[in-house]
Chains A and B, each alone.
Chain A
Amino acid sequence: MEEMNNSNCALEVHHLSKTYATVRAVDDISFEVQHGEIFGLLGPNGAGKTTILRMLLDIIKQDAGQISILGGPMSEEKKTRIGYLPEERGLYEDMTLWETLLFLGQLKGLARQTAETRAEAYLREVELWEPRDRKIEALSRGMNQKAQFVAATMHEPELIIIDEPFSGLDPVNTRIIKNLLYEMRERGAAIIMSTHQMHQVEEMCERILLIDRGKRVLYGPVHEIRREFAGNAVEVSMRGEIHHAPGVERITMRDGSYRLLLEDGVQPEEVLKTLVEMPEITVERFERVQTSLDEIFVQVVGREVSVEELAA
């Protein structure tokens, strides 16, 4: 295996490929994830995200490529240092929440007493301490989601792989899980997150990997990608109306604001100066347009993709 020894890297993937029958599910994918980073893995339905995650975890074998996870190839010992919350997930419905967490905690290598201490601490943090003796089947969907999250992370892993961590959660519980993830990142854990909630990716992830049909489409820091795709446009709120202005190629209305697409080479400052000097209008807000990840996704993939499709 090729030497991959970036000391801060929790995960290094080089030229990973997988083919199912005639379908190239993953095609020459490379990326890395650092300790203390939340990394977003995005792509439409069938893009190959789940296949990648399963290859990382040695659930399925790659056809080609190398994976260095926590400093080397996957081993049984490393399984206790990784937390995984799969998309297709469930807990034993006939067990109580408390029994489930002790079972899964011990399966991840915790001593029983440590598992009890951790389970209590986490259950209190996610507000599930009271219903700990309820059977899993009696928990609400949101409770179940939180329980699964705790089960996947209570052994405080160095690498956390989570698929749709916020699905089924209300804003309050989303905030609780998000804070837990931030705490884990602060502790130095590397977190790979796959979600369809783009605003969560924008808020939480330092870097992303966007794949489509098994191929890498975008890879890098979120702010750089957004800057790269920002384009030459500004958004203006004003009193009065305008239909044309010097240096502006096109004017459209969006949510009560004007979006001005500038001509090539025209700087936003020049347009602002022109607008301020126009007597028929009063500028109330002027800002450079930030392209959302949703928009970038559609632009890069080259087709309309539903929000749900992004998740799968």
Chain B
Amino acid sequence: MRKIWLIAKTTYRRRVRSGMFLILTFGLPILMVIAGAIPIIREERGAGEVANVGYVDQTGRLANVSQVSAQDMILSLLSYANTDAARAAFQQGEISRYLVVPENYFQGGPATFYAEEEPNARTEAGLERFMQQAMLPDQPAWVIDRLSDPSEMTYVARESGVAIEQGPAVIVRIATPAVLGLLFALAVFTGASQMGSVIVREKEQRSMEMIITSLAPRELVAGKVLGMTMLSMTQLGVWAIGGAVAIVLAFSSSLDFGALSIPWGAVLWAVLLGLPGYFLYAVTASGLGIIAGSQQQAQQLAGVLGIVGLMPQRFLGVVVDTPNGAAAVALTLFPFTAPMLGLIRMAITEVPVWQLAASFVLIVATLAGSIWLVARIFRAAMLMYGQALRPRQLIRALREA
């Protein structure tokens, strides 16, 4: 175990300080945080502002409203008889923007908003408030508030009894497994599938023969896989923190994060399926790396593995249409697609526990078989510098080992 840990630590240290890893790991979250911060910055620009807004009521049925406030912004409203008058006031700077409510508004016609720039969320909220008050001048504020979201409810699943609140809670419930599935895919494609290249590089550097006389081939593979897993976890950790910061920044004003609950069931299944699933990809990629004679061949073989890994995406339409259909169940039970497909299905339907449990068992069994297989071909192929292992040699290696 000490040697496995030593190999893992060294693999991790060597790659964690490489320029490509640093760019990939920290570049993405920085972009996410920037993307999350831009709307905030835009919103903050309107905070506490008092805006003079004109309006033209062509329906003749709106009540006069002189002032509304929404999200720390106050709209001071001025009524104009027609669009010419409103435009003239806008051009003279009396008002900074104006709204034209057309005659057919109550039949579905759209109102037109004129301004120097696109309205931000505060302005939109203020305009909505104005329209509500102008249409219902006699109603108290609480009626208007309630009317803005009259159908908020809690859904209770009949079979499982699981209660889901509407709104952000539903989004979190759906998004959590989907995001975990995405993180699994990212981990596989940036970490596990790179194992082949790592092993080929080891062969190319001629370091394999010296190292292999210090430990068993299975210890070398296990150490490399563990090191790459630690690397992927570091990367995902940084990305997850970056994503969380971006989400908090973007929704801090509109979401009560304390009221949201994490769906721990989905997280548990993500770990149970994702971790052995990741190891399965890593060990398989190692085996392909051992067989490959060059980086180019390793990448080609990793591409084949990638096609298998992307199968859930190709079947996404079918899975979404019939999440409990035969194709969805089969892909949930197939070890290489199980982690991602299982999590995608969890986002859109109630996946029977037996299917998830069976997936877990099949992944672990396949992983054990892969380790057995890779350890056997390792001995035969590790010293074949610049040569790929031919099928006949592969069969002989398996027979002789």
* A binding-site residues for B, Cβ under 8 Å: 54, 57, 59-61, 76, 79-80, 82, 84-86, 88-95, 103-104, 106-108, 148, 151-152
- Inter-chain CA distance A103–B3, complex, in Å, is 10
Closest to A84 in B: B213
Which residues of B lie under 8 Å from residue A152 when comparing CB positions? 210
- Interface contact A76-B383, CB-CB below 8 Å: no
Which residues of A lie under 8 Å from residue B22 when comparing CB positions? none
Instruction: Report the minimum CB–CB distance from A232 to chain B (whole Å).
Output: 46
Which residues of A lie under 8 Å from residue B206 when comparing CB positions? 86, 88-90
Closest to A108 in B: B214
- Interface contact B215-A89, CB-CB below 8 Å: no
Which residues of A lie under 8 Å from residue B210 when comparing CB positions? 84-86, 89-91, 104, 148, 151-152
**B18 adjacent to chain A (CB < 8 Å):** yes
**B368 adjacent to chain A (CB < 8 Å):** no
**B24 adjacent to chain A (CB < 8 Å):** no
- Inter-chain CA distance A88–B206, complex, in Å, is 6
- Inter-chain CA distance A151–B371, complex, in Å, is 29
- Interface contact A94-B209, CB-CB below 8 Å: no
- Interface contact B207-A90, CB-CB below 8 Å: yes
Most A CB contacts (10 A, CB to CB) among B6, B205, B213, B379 go to: B213
Given A80, A88, A103, which contacts B383 in the complex, CB threshold below 8 Å?
A: A88
- Inter-chain CA distance A107–B5, complex, in Å, is 10
**B111 adjacent to chain A (CB < 8 Å):** no
Give the total of B residues in contact with A, Cβ under 8 Å: 21
- A-contacting residues, B212-249, CB 8 Å: 212-216
- Interface contact A57-B213, CB-CB below 8 Å: yes
Known: A59-B379, A94-B14. A107 touches B3 (CB 8 A): yes
- Interface contact A91-B214, CB-CB below 8 Å: no
Known: A80-B214, A107-B6, A107-B214. A59 touches B383 (CB 8 A): yes
Which residues of B lie under 8 Å from residue A85 when comparing CB positions? 210
> Nearest 5 pairs between A and B by C-beta?
A90-B206, A86-B209, A107-B214, A90-B205, A84-B213
- Could you jot down 9 A-B contacts, CB within 8 Å? A57-B213, A84-B209, A89-B206, A90-B205, A92-B10, A103-B10, A104-B211, A104-B214, A106-B6
- Interface contact B379-A60, CB-CB below 8 Å: yes
Instruction: Report the minimum CB–CB distance from A152 to chain B (whole Å).
Output: 7
**B138 adjacent to chain A (CB < 8 Å):** no
Q: 1/0 per position for B112-132, CB-CB distance to A under 8 A? A: 000000000000000000000
* B binding-site residues for A, Cβ under 8 Å: 3, 6-7, 10, 14, 18, 205-207, 209-216, 379, 383, 385, 400
Which residues of A lie under 8 Å from residue B10 when comparing CB positions? 92, 95, 103
Known: A79-B215, A89-B209, A152-B210. A54 touches B383 (CB 8 A): yes
- Inter-chain CA distance A79–B220, complex, in Å, is 14
Known: A76-B215, A88-B383, A92-B14. A59 touches B209 (CB 8 A): yes
Which residues of A lie under 8 Å from residue B215 when comparing CB positions? 76, 79, 107
Most B CB contacts (10 A, CB to CB) among A59, A84, A148, A151 go to: A59
- Inter-chain CA distance A79–B383, complex, in Å, is 18
- Inter-chain CA distance A235–B14, complex, in Å, is 61
Closest to B2 in A: A106
Instruction: Report the minimum CB–CB distance from A69 to chain B (whole Å).
Output: 12
Instruction: Report the minimum CB–CB distance from B197 to chain A (whole Å).
Output: 14
Given contacts A92-B205, A107-B214, 19 further A-B contacts (CB under 8 A): A54-B383, A59-B213, A61-B400, A76-B215, A79-B214, A80-B214, A85-B210, A86-B210, A90-B206, A91-B207, A91-B210, A92-B207, A93-B205, A103-B6, A103-B10, A104-B210, A107-B6, A107-B211, A108-B214
Closest to A107 in B: B214
Which residues of A lie under 8 Å from residue B213 when comparing CB positions? 57, 59, 79, 82, 84
Closest to B205 in A: A90
- Inter-chain CA distance A26–B55, complex, in Å, is 98
Instruction: Report the minimum CB–CB distance from B393 to chain A (whole Å).
Output: 9
- Inter-chain CA distance A107–B216, complex, in Å, is 11
- Inter-chain CA distance A108–B211, complex, in Å, is 9
- Inter-chain CA distance A59–B213, complex, in Å, is 7
- Inter-chain CA distance A79–B211, complex, in Å, is 10
Instruction: Report the minimum CB–CB distance from B14 to chain A (whole Å).
Output: 6
- Inter-chain CA distance A159–B214, complex, in Å, is 13
Instruction: Report the minimum CB–CB distance from B202 to chain A (whole Å).
Output: 9
Which residues of A lie under 8 Å from residue B383 when comparing CB positions? 54, 59, 88
Which residues of A lie under 8 Å from residue B400 when comparing CB positions? 61
Instruction: Report the minimum CB–CB distance from A36 to chain B (whole Å).
Output: 22
Closest to B206 in A: A90
- Inter-chain CA distance A88–B215, complex, in Å, is 18
Instruction: Report the minimum CB–CB distance from A180 to chain B (whole Å).
Output: 18
- Inter-chain CA distance A79–B214, complex, in Å, is 5
Instruction: Report the minimum CB–CB distance from A183 to chain B (whole Å).
Output: 21
- Interface contact A88-B379, CB-CB below 8 Å: no
Instruction: Report the minimum CB–CB distance from A144 to chain B (whole Å).
Output: 11
Which residues of B lie under 8 Å from residue A82 when comparing CB positions? 213
- Inter-chain CA distance A151–B214, complex, in Å, is 12
Instruction: Report the minimum CB–CB distance from B283 to chain A (whole Å).
Output: 21
- Inter-chain CA distance A152–B383, complex, in Å, is 18
- Inter-chain CA distance A272–B24, complex, in Å, is 83
Which residues of B lie under 8 Å from residue A104 when comparing CB positions? 210-211, 214
Instruction: Report the minimum CB–CB distance from A100 to chain B (whole Å).
Output: 9
- Inter-chain CA distance A85–B211, complex, in Å, is 10
Which residues of B lie under 8 Å from residue A86 when comparing CB positions? 206, 209-210
- Inter-chain CA distance A107–B18, complex, in Å, is 23
- Inter-chain CA distance A82–B211, complex, in Å, is 12
Closest to B380 in A: A60
- Interface contact A76-B207, CB-CB below 8 Å: no
- Inter-chain CA distance A88–B212, complex, in Å, is 13
- Inter-chain CA distance A54–B7, complex, in Å, is 22
- Inter-chain CA distance A224–B194, complex, in Å, is 56
Instruction: Report the minimum CB–CB distance from B22 to chain A (whole Å).
Output: 14
Which residues of A lie under 8 Å from residue B214 when comparing CB positions? 79-80, 104, 107-108
Instruction: Report the minimum CB–CB distance from B385 to chain A (whole Å).
Output: 6
Known: A86-B209, A104-B210. A76 touches B14 (CB 8 A): no
Closest to B211 in A: A107
- Interface contact B18-A94, CB-CB below 8 Å: yes
Instruction: Report the minimum CB–CB distance from A171 to chain B (whole Å).
Output: 26
